[in-house]
Amino acid sequence: MLGLGLIGGSLARAAEPLLPVFGWTPSPGTQQAAIADGYDVEADLEKALARAVRADALVVLAAPVTKFGGLLQTIGELTPTVRLTDVASVKAVVQEEVADFAPRTRYIGSHPMAGTAASGWPAGSAALFRDAAWVTALTDDSDIDDWALVAGLALAIGSRVVPADPQAHDLAVARISHLPHLMALALAQAGEQGGALALSLAAGSFADGTRVAGTRPELVRAMTETNRGALIDAMDDALGILGVARGSLASTGSLLKIAEAGHAARGRFEHRGDQLAAVTLEGDELIDQLLAVGAAGGHVSGVDRTAGGLKISAWYPDEE
């Protein structure tokens, strides 16, 4: 586990009952805190990587995404064929960095869709990933056995596994994670412009709508700024919807369109998992099958090795 912040620290705690876990962090304070909590922490990156090779470990990049370049260079030099995943909230750019700096690693990108406004080792929890989506990035070059290892770990700690193409992942999270952060940040400011009376009256809708504005600004910047193209498109859509509503309110006094369309969209979000049915994936072209499951809104619930290869249990939309 390279990095022991909220996600790395939570993953160390969640995985520890299942298999031996050891970590590295450049922060002496985090080292001491994790060791005091009974975890196995290396102070030296090269020693940690050498140990990973000896143990045939899965290396998890859980550092801030801005540190990935340097870490991947070291991995590419010292442990060029190690099994590797990461937990960054963008996937295409990391896939490219891996191809540039550590192209022979057995890499499967991950994005556990879990987090809180808190951060750092003390905020971690073994339960963080339970019932959360865990994206596994897949391309034509991915090795299905490397995928099965990462997917198996995610399933074992209670996540549902969502296979996705890296670019498709980035487009999706721009809309359901990065845009919500920016909307919350804008709302927090626009609300405060109403002064002390406005803040004292603020309750449910404002508290909910600004909650993720409590996230540390450097974490928000790390995820949003690395997903620039997809996020600009998502912002343009949101600006367009709000701008049309503003124009309608000013000209006709009506907010019918946004009120009905937004309510219907929220309803479909609430019922998004209602129509899934169990399916089994086997045979050839498993990567294409997995990507089809994720793209349709489905997810993987089990991975078994059989004599004939992998047998994958999944949930897939039931098209009546």
Of residues 68-127, which lie at the interface with its own copies (CB under 8 A)?
A: 113-116
- Residue 245 binding its own copies, by CB under 8 A: yes
How crowded is the C-beta side of 301, counted as CA atoms within 13 Å? 11
Decide: residue 38, CB within 10 A, 0-12 exposed, 13-18 middle, 19+ buried: exposed
- Strand segments (E) across the chain: 23-24, 41-42, 58-61, 83-86, 106-107, 110-112, 133-137, 160-164, 276-281, 299-306, 309-317
Residues 6+ apart with CB under 8 A from 123: 6, 9, 116
Given 56, 253, 306, 319, the residue binding its own copies (CB under 8 A): 253
Stretch binding its own copies (CB under 8 A), from 67-75, 79-87, 144-152, 270-278 = 270-278
Of 166-185, binders to its own copies (CB under 8 A) are 168-169, 171-177, 179-185
Binders of its own copies in range 222-241 (CB under 8 A): 224-225, 228, 231-232, 234-239, 241
Residue in 127, 156, 187, 279 binding its own copies, rule: CB under 8 A: 187
Nearest-approach distance from CB 210 to its own copies, in angstroms: 5
Query: Degrees (nearest 5) of the Cα angle 148, 134, 186?
Result: 155
From the CB of 18, what's the least distance to its own copies, in Å? 23
Q: How many CB atoms lie within 10 A of CB 100?
A: 12
CB 65 within 8 A of CB 223: yes
In the three-class reduction of DSSP (H, G, I as helix; E, B as strand; rest coil), residue 111 is classed as strand
Q: What residues numbered 128-157 form the site for its own copies, per CB under 8 A?
A: 132-133, 135
Q: Which residue, 158 or 297, has its beta carbon nearer to its own copies? A: 297
Q: In the complex, what is the shortest distance from the CB of residue 1 to its own copies, in angstroms, rounded to a whole number? A: 22
Identify which range of 3-11, 51-59, 119-127, 244-252 contacts its own copies by CB under 8 A. Answer: 244-252
